[in-house]
Amino acid sequence: MPYENIYIKQVAEHPHIYSDEALMHAKKGKWKEFFWKEKLMLEIGTGMGNFFSNYAANRPEMACVGIELKFKRLIRTYEKSALKGREDVILLKVFGQKIPEIFAEGEVDELYLLFSDPWPKKGHHKNRVIQDDFLRNAASILVSGGIFLIKTDEASYAAWIDEHLARCPYFTYEKNENEEPEKKLTPETATEFETMGRREGSKIASFLCRKK
Ligand SMILES: C[S@@+](CC[C@H](N)C(=O)[O-])C[C@H]1O[C@@H](n2cnc3c(N)ncnc32)[C@H](O)[C@@H]1O
């Protein structure tokens, strides 16, 4: 019997998970109004949703939008958030690189990119989320002074992020190795990949960026 991914149908029918990009585009510039909240956080690559759901539960004043590509992970992220009392979050099934089509300039207050796929082989570096164009787009959707937290446990990706941030004119940033700077901002727990990385003794690099 062929394998059937039961999450495809669940995502298609879920009122809080958008796969139709036209629906996402229609909310551009109107996300805060839609949520009736004054501040908006966006996480790209929510994975199984530990960080996203804890953040949403701890920060009821924030509108929370998560981006993820995988069906099961979208469902798990929503379920965890709802279980913790945040049924009002929205998840988008779309490439994170499409943020400027979905969010207006200065619409986002906090952006998180945690343990995005490191693509360690040289020929695959073009697939990394962090690129010069992506940083320009991330800065454009952030409000002035807005936060962008990036973390990785892959040394070559950490060096790549550092290089790209160093030549990026839109952010100031501080780099921390094996520290948890986000704890100073929010009381959220680690992501699944951070927990795994720490268990395996990986060195974790954090880049806490602020839009100039
Ligand atoms: C290595 S996992 C990390 C998940 C989670 N942030 C964590 O730390 O546990 C990367 C996640 O990003 C998603 N992803 C990969 N490329 C993406 C892209 N271009 N846009 C949005 N999500 C992406 C993957 O499906 C995966 O769930």
Q: Are 188 and 54 in contact (CB under 8 A)?
A: yes
> Residue 81: inside a domain, yes or no?
yes
**Model-level pTM?**
0.95
Distance 196 CA to ligand 1 centre (A): 15
> Residue 14: inside a domain, yes or no?
yes
Domain of 126?
Answer: 6-211
- What is the C-alpha to C-alpha distance for residues 133 and 104, in angstroms, rounded to an integer? 16
> Residue 182: inside a domain, yes or no?
yes
- Paired strand residues for 81: none
How many domains does one find in the chain? 1
Residue 196: CATH number of its domain: 3.40.50.150
> Residue 1: inside a domain, yes or no?
no
Given the residues 117, 133, 153, 162, the one annotated as active site: 117
> Residue 51: inside a domain, yes or no?
yes
> Residue 42: inside a domain, yes or no?
yes
Supply the pLDDT for residue 186.
56
| Of residues 112, 94, 126, the one with CA closest to residue 28 | 94
| Of residues 84, 94, 139, 109, the one with CA closest to residue 31 | 109
Question: Residue-wise pLDDT tens for the chain (212 aa)?
Answer: 677 899 999 999 999 999 999 999 999 999 999 999 999 999 999 999 999 999 999 999 999 999 999 999 999 999 999 999 999 999 999 999 999 999 999 999 999 999 999 999 999 999 999 999 999 999 999 999 999 999 999 999 999 999 999 999 999 999 988 765 455 555 567 788 888 887 788 888 999 999 99
Distance 33 CA to ligand 1 centre (A): 27
Atom of ligand 1 at shortest range from CA of 127: 19
Supply the pLDDT for residue 194.
82
Which of 17, 65, 69, 75 to probe ligand 1 with, by most ligand atoms within 8 A of CB?
Answer: 69
> Residue 169: inside a domain, yes or no?
yes
Residue list, ligand 1 pocket, CB within 6 Å: 44-45, 47, 67-70, 73, 95-97, 114-117, 129, 191-194
> Residue 195: inside a domain, yes or no?
yes
Atom of ligand 1 at shortest range from CA of 67: 21
Q: What is the 3-state secondary structure (H, E, C) of 99-141?
A: HHHHCCCCCEEEEEEECCCCCCCHHHHHHCCCCHHHHHHHHHH
Please tell me the residue having the least CA distance from ligand 1 atom 19: 95
- The residue to which tokens 């992501």 are assigned: 191
Active site residue 109: no
| Of residues 92, 167, 165, 97, the one with CA closest to residue 128 | 97
- Paired strand residues for 148: 111, 209
